[in-house]
Chain A
Amino acid sequence: GAVVSQHPSWVICKSGTSVKIECRSLDFQATTMFWYRQFPKQSLMLMATSNEGSKATYEQGVEKDKFLINHASLTLSTLTVTSAHPEDSSFYICSVSRGNTEAFFGQGTRLTVV
C-alpha cells in the first residue's frame, strides 16, 4: 500500500500564530489528498480535499481562509492553520486514496494551541 508521512507528529504553538503541517505521499503520486480533523473521543471529520495544481475543496463549515491547503506537487500537500486558537487544538490526519475506498493515512499531527 501507499506510504503516507506527516510532519510534524506533534506541535505546540501560541494562540494567534500559524502552523504548517506537511503530508507526503512517499511512493505514490497523488493528485488528490484529504485532510481530516479528529477531536478527543470523536470520529474523523473530513475537512477538505486537496487537489494538485488547483484549489482545495472544503467541506461545509470549514473555513478556507483559516485552514489553508496547498498541493503544489503530486507528493506533497500542506495544511496551514492560520491564527490558531485553543479551539483549533486537535489531531489532524491526511490521507491518500487509490480509489475503491482503500485509503492510506498519515500518522497524524497533534496540534496544541496554548
Chain B
Amino acid sequence: LAKTTQPISMDSYEGQEVNITCSHNNIATNDYITWYQQFPSQGPRFIIQGYKTKVTNEVASLFIPADRKSSTLSLPRVSLSDTAVYYCLVGDEGNTGKLIFGQGTTLQVKP
C-alpha cells in the first residue's frame, strides 16, 4: 500500500475554503485515493474518493493531477464543526479493505 504524506496541522477561519494536499509518489496504477475525517473519540468517516481529475460531492472536492502523485482535498466554506483530523489513503480495488493510516492532518477552524 502506497505511503502518503500530509501536513501535520492546518489552521483556518470560518467561511474560508481549505485545501489539504497529500503526497503519494508511489501510487500504483490501480490505486484509488480516499479521504477520511475523524472527530475526537469517533471512528473515521468516509469523505470522498477518486482516481483521477476532479471529484465533487456534497461535502468536498478532490483534485487529482494527471500524474496522480498528489491529491488535494478541498473543503468549501468551513465551519467550526469541520475541525477534525483528515486522513488521505491510497489503495486498489482488489484490496481486502485493509487500510494503513498515515499521521493525518489536524484541521483547526477558528471563529
Contacts and interface: CB of A to CB of B under 8 A. Distances in A.
A44 B98 CA distance: 12
Contacts of B90: 101
B46 A1 contact: yes
B44 A105 contact: yes
Secondary structure class of chain B's binding surface, majority of residues: loop
Interface residues of B, number: 27
Contacts of A99: 93-97
Interface string A96-114: 1111111111111010000
A40 B68 CA distance: 32
B101 interface: yes
B18 interface: no
Interface in A82-105: 91, 93-105
B99 A34 contact: yes
A101 B42 contact: no
A97 B97 CA distance: 5
Interface of A: 1, 4, 6, 32, 34, 36, 42-46, 49, 91, 93-108, 110
Given A91-B41, A101-B90, A108-B41, 4 more contacts: A4-B43, A100-B32, A101-B32, A101-B34
